[in-house]
Amino acid sequence: MAKEKKNKLKIKEIPKKAKSFIKALPNKTKVFIKNLPDNSKKFIKNFPHNTKVFVKNNPMFTFFVISNLINSILLRAFTVKNYASISPILADAAFILIIASFSYLFKPKNRFKYLITWEIILTLVCLINSMYYSNYVSFTSFSLIATSVQIFGVGDALENVVEIKDFCYIWGPIIFFYLNYSLKKRGHFNNFENEKRKTKFAQALAAGVIILVCFLLTVTGTDISRLYKQWNREYVVMKFGIYIYQANDLVASLKPQISPLFGYDAAAKEFRDYYKKYPSEESDNKYTDVFKGKNVIVIHAESIQNFLLDTEINGTEIAPNLKKLASEGLYFSNFYAQESVGTSSDSEFTFNTSLLPASSGTVFVSYWDREYVTIPKLLKGNNYYTFSMHANKPNFWNREVMHKKLGYDKFYSYTNDFEIKDEDILGLGLNDKSFFSQATDKIKKINNKHDNWYGVLIMLTNHTPFTALDGQETLDLTYKHKKVNEETGTEEEVVNDYLTDTILGNYFETAHYADAAIGEFVDKLDKEGLLDNTVLVIYGDHDAKIKRSEYDYYYNYDPETDSKLDEDDPKYDEFTKYDYELNRKVPFIIWTKDHKYQKEIKDVMGMYDILPTLGNMLGIHSDYALGHDMFNTDDHFVVFPNGSWITNKMYYDNQNGEGILLKEGDIISSDYIEKYTARAEQEVTVSNDIIVHDLIKKTRESEEIKGENK
């Protein structure tokens, strides 16, 4: 399948002025030095010698500073790529110097213990962030410690999580141990018994502070605001370096405990102003109430991406059932999940509330105790019985607690409600086919008992690392082609491995299985007469988080060599980071048995648009929805939790201030970018304020008090 190419628009280019400034720099420096007073000239002249003496007398301090600075630069080189940028180098250097300065408060012999502890901590910061970035294209957070089992523990094989380059930072502590050993052996520490420790501390601290001031001169108001909000993590690292980012993250991660105590007034004001200006209006269109009184089955399709619906492997469609449902129902083909680090749980949250995930930590784990307006709660107002089903442990993502909070009357889970036969275990737990089959029996009982019901079924088999079907391949992932045998001169069929045993190939297989499970489920529901008064809703919960290199190989495969085309090859067409971002879209389908809508909606849509869109059809409404009814707006816009956004015209990457136009020949102004970037920032902020400060509950309480006082 050919991938779409978009015309890239570089928004940030080096202005001409800056270019000529850089060119004139060496000359300007010479003139500057010539005009300096004599003692400054002397300082510069003696600088190399003094540095040599300093390094000789302070080898551990020097090593500590240099090794950690190199590691931070390396990390940025491997991740955000701005390794030569001055600002983060200054910030990292200031941070390291300030930390190192305190070592002079210790006696020379004890200094090592202090510095090696920090050396290990800072090395771990680089190592863990490197690992995290390889997998999630973002930087890690202390707030994830509570959910770390979910982050790395969901069946990911270690080799899929870790890359060799992640360990390149450990040279620091290793050499540091050796340095200490050899200095001790040479009696180095005995020479410094009488050193003036406080003076040295003050000098080192002063050096750190001076560099910090130089760094602060480069900082703008926007930078400070982004550091404070911390949701544009890549940007924060690119500007403030990895160490300040992580230190700031530590503070931000304590927010669930401390932040409701701070900033409430400003948050409440922003919240009031926002909804005054952009009230979440009830829509009135041809879809209003069309499903009022109908039962609803929502399928949370784990890691199902939209491109699967158009992908065939050796003539076999990967997702024929989803494709069929999409072609018969309302199919939103430019639909994006808006998840953050909480993956499945974030999508569940946004689906249910039309709010965005928390900027720090996850709502399910850190902010489960706040009040939210949700689809199940609203439907309960219309006398629906509401339930959720998932064949995993109930405490995963804290669902046991959070599903109650979201308003489900009952959460059917692995441990309590599903029969798990050994032969039905696949990947993370019960396979999707058995899950759906057992779920149908439960839904039958629910249907007999309740007039109206709403249920969400969370799938599981198509989950990273997608090895659930090992040894029982369902798709032919090889590449077959004809080749002339050089010895015999005859044409022979050659079978290459191609996608066999690749992560993307495994993904195709488990996704194909998941699709078949959905097909069987729909058939079984139909046989049981459960589709007659039912709306079927299907959403992909997020992309499969498969690395870009896998797609690059898939789309640039060279059968001659059974490997990726050389990047210099004229046929090579890189799967760019924009191709990757746009390809992350997932399907969203609304389907009923009795009415074939056969309608594809191509406008961009986000997970937060579901409540307003589906809600309008079901006759429910949330006053706090951040999304919009897709059939009631022309201004289609989706913000991602990191502040990047997409409209029908462009995708904008807020991390590096670049974007691409989605239609060849389209023109947009810088006002357009400014307008939507501001909107993105506002939506992320208001949503996070609602979550952190429990603003829905507080607003309702204050309205009640006002009502009582009237």
Closer Cβ to ligand GP9, 154 or 511, answer by number: 154
- Residue 476, Cβ neighbours under 10 Å: how many? 15
Closer Cβ to ligand GP9, 78 or 466, answer by number: 466
One-letter identity of residue 69: L
Closer Cβ to Mn ion, 104 or 588, answer by number: 588
Q: Measured from the CB of residue 157, what is the shortest distance to ligand GP9 in angstroms?
A: 14
Chain residues 370-399 in contact with Mn ion, contact rule CB under 5 A:
none
Order across the sheet with 658-661: list the strands: 7-9, 658-661, 650-653, 645-647, 637-639
Say which entry of Mn ion, ligand GP9, none residue 396 contacts (CB below 5 to 8 A, set by partner kind). Answer: ligand GP9
Structure tokens at 340: 């953050």
Residue with tokens 């709010």, as numbered in its chain = 355
Say which entry of ligand GP9, Mn ion, none residue 154 contacts (CB below 5 to 8 A, set by partner kind). Answer: ligand GP9
Q: Measured from the CB of residue 452, what is the shortest distance to ligand GP9 in angstroms?
A: 26
CA dihedral 288, 291, 296, 301 (to 10 degrees): -50
- Applying CB under 6 A, does 154 fall inside the site for ligand GP9? yes
Of 108-116, 257-265, 369-377, 539-547, which segment contacts Mn ion by CB under 5 A? 539-547
Distance, CA of 244 to CA of 84 (rounded, Å): 17
Structure tokens at 429: 């737990």
Distance, CA of 685 to CA of 679 (rounded, Å): 10
User: Residues binding ligand GP9: what is the number (CB under 6 A)?
Assistant: 8
- Applying CB under 6 A, does 377 fall inside the site for ligand GP9? no
Closer Cβ to ligand GP9, 126 or 301, answer by number: 301
Q: Which of 58, 129, 311, 344 binds ligand GP9 (CB under 6 A)?
A: 344
- Applying CB under 6 A, does 354 fall inside the site for ligand GP9? no
- Applying CB under 6 A, does 147 fall inside the site for ligand GP9? no
- Residue 368, Cβ neighbours under 10 Å: how many? 20
Closer Cβ to Mn ion, 325 or 341, answer by number: 341
- Applying CB under 6 A, does 584 fall inside the site for ligand GP9? no
Say which entry of Mn ion, ligand GP9, none residue 392 contacts (CB below 5 to 8 A, set by partner kind). Answer: ligand GP9
Distance, CA of 153 to CA of 149 (rounded, Å): 5
Rg over CA atoms, the chain: 29
Structure tokens at 380: 């309960």
One-letter identity of residue 303: S
Q: Which of 370, 463, 512, 524 binds ligand GP9 (CB under 6 A)?
A: 463
Structure tokens at 36: 């300096």
Of 59-67, 97-105, 477-485, 540-548, which segment contacts Mn ion by CB under 5 A? 540-548
Closer Cβ to ligand GP9, 395 or 561, answer by number: 395
Say which entry of ligand GP9, Mn ion, none residue 458 contacts (CB below 5 to 8 A, set by partner kind). Answer: ligand GP9
Q: Which of 82, 141, 392, 462 binds ligand GP9 (CB under 6 A)?
A: 392
- Applying CB under 5 A, does 543 fall inside the site for Mn ion? no
Chain residues 417-436 in contact with ligand GP9, contact rule CB under 6 A:
none
DSSP string, 453-471: EEEEEE--SS-TT--TTTT
Tell me the backbone φ, ψ of residue 183, rounded to 5 degrees. Answer: -65, -40
Distance, CA of 347 to CA of 337 (rounded, Å): 7
Structure tokens at 435: 């899950």
Structure tokens at 579: 């191709």
Instruction: State the number of CA atoms in the 13 A half-sphere of 177 facing the CB.
Output: 6
Q: Measured from the CB of residue 137, what is the shortest distance to ligand GP9 in angstroms?
A: 16
Q: Measured from the CB of residue 223, what is the shortest distance to ligand GP9 in angstroms?
A: 31
Q: Measured from the CB of residue 40, what is the shortest distance to ligand GP9 in angstroms?
A: 59
Taken as a whole, the chain contains a residue count of 710
- Applying CB under 5 A, does 344 fall inside the site for Mn ion? yes
Distance, CA of 522 to CA of 552 (rounded, Å): 35
| Helix pair angle (503-527, 548-555), 10° resolution | 90
- Applying CB under 5 A, does 541 fall inside the site for Mn ion? yes
Closer Cβ to ligand GP9, 6 or 463, answer by number: 463
Residues of this chain that bind ligand GP9 (CB under 6 A) = 154, 343-344, 392, 396, 458, 460, 463
Residues of this chain that bind Mn ion (CB under 5 A) = 302, 343-344, 541
